[in-house]
Amino acid sequence: MRKSAIFTLILLWLMVLSSVCHGQIRAQSQGDIIINTDGSISPSSAPIHQTGDTYTMTSNMEGNISVEKKNITLDGNANVLIGGLLLKHGSNVTVKNFIIKGGEQFGEVPRGFFAGIYLSDTSNVVVANNTITGISNFLATYEYYETVAGIIVAGGRSNVISGNNLVNNFQGLEFKDTTNNLIVGNNITYSLAAEKEQGYNDPAGIFFDHASNNTIYHNNFEISIGRQAGDSYYDSVNIWDDGYPSGGNYWTNYNAKQIDMSGIGDSPYTIDYYNTDRYPLMEPFNTTFFALQTTPPKISIESPTEHVYNESSILLVFSVEIISSNKTVSWTGYSLDDQENVTIIGICTLTNMTNGFHSIFVYTNDTFGNMGASTVNFTVAKLTVAKLQPFLTVIALAVISTSTVALIIGVGVLIYFRHKKR
């Protein structure tokens, strides 16, 4: 073979390799995975590593994961799952750190459980810090209608849905025939203009169907089209805030004035006749800001300190530290020896202190209702006039006794020397 022909073949082969190496990287298709009731993983080649009761995803994958074992932690480890995740009759399971993509990822072939994460008749399951996108309503174009949402909780009770990002799903969250769940700190954001134009059912950021006594607060509902929240038959009655000053949820279509600098609106947000967020947030919930707002004041007592005082009046000196510029001190007081609180105004002195062991608590409230407290124990051992008299008598007797002994010794010495001279 001529050298030019060989060179041409080598060049063509390198071009093929180059096109392969620079092609789009897709998640490997592993099919469905099951974490069995005995803790084993099927198939054994699944990209999930087990360490005790913790199961960690080790790579991106395409397929569905079913969890049948209880009392475990399933960690997505920030890997991408193109498919869905199902927990059925589970309890005490934590699902966290997944990036789940579904819906339009499958074209015309529906896959998954019509949800990024589906909890069926579970209890005490925690779903936290997951990102779920693309659970689209195209599935509803088939002859039957299935619930389509980023996270679905059907049946069961007492689950926690916290810190999840639900983006561009037909519905963010749906709860059906379930109760006593906690939904806190989730972000539900999307625009469903395209699906609305196609005449699909009216979506909602969060939807309830025969599901009452659930608690929903500190979630951000930023939905440009569709309902922020919905109820199929107006038969679900839930709690939509954490009281004042903690607050409720952020609703993108809420308009009101702020109460002082609290970040809470001065009027409630009505979901329907039976459901109201009494303390809606003026801005999207921010975990860092909330921590600053809810951290209690820190008190450092400088006087009294833990030692013995020989006086009946002791100056009370302390300092207060507040870590947020939006907060101020609204009340300060103290309780001495578990007695009633005394409000502190200006310089404060503890007077008429009796001998013995004492304890003092200093309290302060900030403008958001957070109370800080600090305590110190000390002892008073002052000498009163009544106690001083016997003390002086003892000293006097001691002086007299000492003089008498000296006189006796002196007389004895004198007699001794006189006798010696004779």
Residue 323 vs residues 283, 287, 288, 332, 378: alpha-carbon distances, Å: 20, 15, 12, 17, 29
> Which of 23-32, 103-112, 385-394 shows the lowest mean pLDDT across its residues?
103-112
Task: Tell me if 96 sits within 8 A of 62, measured CB to CB.
Answer: no
**Exposure of 182 in the CB half-sphere (CA atoms within 13 A):** 13
Instruction: Give 262's pLDDT tier (boundaries 50, 70, 90).
Output: confident
Instruction: Give 399's pLDDT tier (boundaries 50, 70, 90).
Output: very low
**Domain final residue pick, 291, 312, 346:** 291
Task: Tell me if 99 sits within 8 A of 81, measured CB to CB.
Answer: yes
Beta carbons within 8 Å of 378's beta carbon, 6+ residues apart: 304, 305, 306, 307, 308, 309, 314, 357, 358, 359, 360
Residue with tokens 């009163």: 384
Q: Which pLDDT tens digit goes with each residue over 131-169?
A: 999 887 554 444 444 568 899 999 999 999 999 999 988
Task: Tell me if 262 sits within 8 A of 338, measured CB to CB.
Answer: no
> Which of 15-24, 116-125, 256-265 shows the lowest mean pLDDT across its residues?
15-24
Q: What was the pLDDT predicted at 235?
A: 85
Residues 244 and 340 in one domain: no
Q: What was the pLDDT predicted at 290?
A: 67
Q: Which pLDDT tens digit goes with each residue over 210-244?
A: 999 999 999 999 987 778 898 877 789 999 999 99
pLDDT at 407 over 50: no
Instruction: Give 287's pLDDT tier (boundaries 50, 70, 90).
Output: confident
Q: What's the CATH code of the domain at 330?
A: 2.60.40.10
Residues 137 and 53 in one domain: yes
pLDDT at 185 over 60: yes
Q: What was the pLDDT predicted at 144?
A: 43
For residues 363, 367, 369, 372, the Cα torsion angle rounded to the nearest 10 degrees is -30
Residues 181 and 318 in one domain: no
Rounded Cα–Cα distance for residues 15 and 232 (Å): 58
Residues 41 and 181 in one domain: yes
**Domain final residue pick, 291, 322, 347:** 291
Which residues constitute the domain of residue 66? Answer: 25-291
Residues 372 and 257 in one domain: no
pLDDT at 28 over 70: no
Tell whether 364 is covered by a domain.
Answer: yes
Rounded Cα–Cα distance for residues 284 and 279 (Å): 13
Tell whether 419 is covered by a domain.
Answer: no
Tell whether 408 is covered by a domain.
Answer: no
Beta carbons within 8 Å of 106's beta carbon, 6+ residues apart: 112
Mean pLDDT of 254-265: 88
Tell whether 348 is covered by a domain.
Answer: yes
Sign of the Cα pseudo-torsion (140, 144, 145, 146, in order): negative
Residues 308 and 267 in one domain: no
Q: What was the pLDDT predicted at 197?
A: 42
Q: What's the CATH code of the domain at 138?
A: 2.160.20
- Report the 3 state secondary structure along 250-298: EECCCCCCECCCCCEECCCEEEECCEEECCCECCCCCHHHHHHHHCCCE
Rounded Cα–Cα distance for residues 388 and 383 (Å): 6
Residues 255 and 310 in one domain: no
Tell whether 386 is covered by a domain.
Answer: no
Q: What average pLDDT does the chain have?
A: 80
- Strand, helix or coil for residue 133: strand
Rounded Cα–Cα distance for residues 241 and 37 (Å): 37
User: Count of domains in the chain?
Assistant: 2
> Which of 39-53, 183-197, 339-353 shows the lowest mean pLDDT across its residues?
183-197
Q: What was the pLDDT predicted at 270?
A: 94
Provide φ and ψ at 407, rounded to 5°.
Answer: -65, -45
Q: What was the pLDDT predicted at 10?
A: 43
Residue 189 neighbours by CB distance under 10 Å: 18
Rounded Cα–Cα distance for residues 343 and 363 (Å): 9
Tell whether 284 is covered by a domain.
Answer: yes
Tell whether 385 is covered by a domain.
Answer: no
DSSP string, 299-314: EEEEES-SSEE-SS-E
Residues 330 and 316 in one domain: yes
Mean pLDDT of 25-39: 73
Residue 306 vs residues 2, 377, 380: alpha-carbon distances, Å: 99, 6, 11
Residues 278 and 328 in one domain: no
**Domain final residue pick, 237, 262, 291:** 291
> Which of 4-8, 133-137, 403-407 shows the lowest mean pLDDT across its residues?
403-407
Token output for 49 = 């590593």
pLDDT at 198 over 80: no
> Which of 18-22, 28-32, 304-308, 380-384 shows the lowest mean pLDDT across its residues?
18-22
Token output for 320 = 């207060």
What is the end-to-end Cα distance of the chain in Å, rounded? 153
Task: Tell me if 201 sits within 8 A of 137, measured CB to CB.
Answer: yes
Instruction: Give 375's pLDDT tier (boundaries 50, 70, 90).
Output: very high
Residues 276 and 301 in one domain: no
Residues 339 and 237 in one domain: no
More confident residue, 131 or 30: 131
Q: What was the pLDDT predicted at 396?
A: 44
Tell whether 256 is covered by a domain.
Answer: yes
The percent of residues in the chain predicted with pLDDT above 70, rounded, is: 73
DSSP code of 326? Answer: T
Residues 101 and 247 in one domain: yes
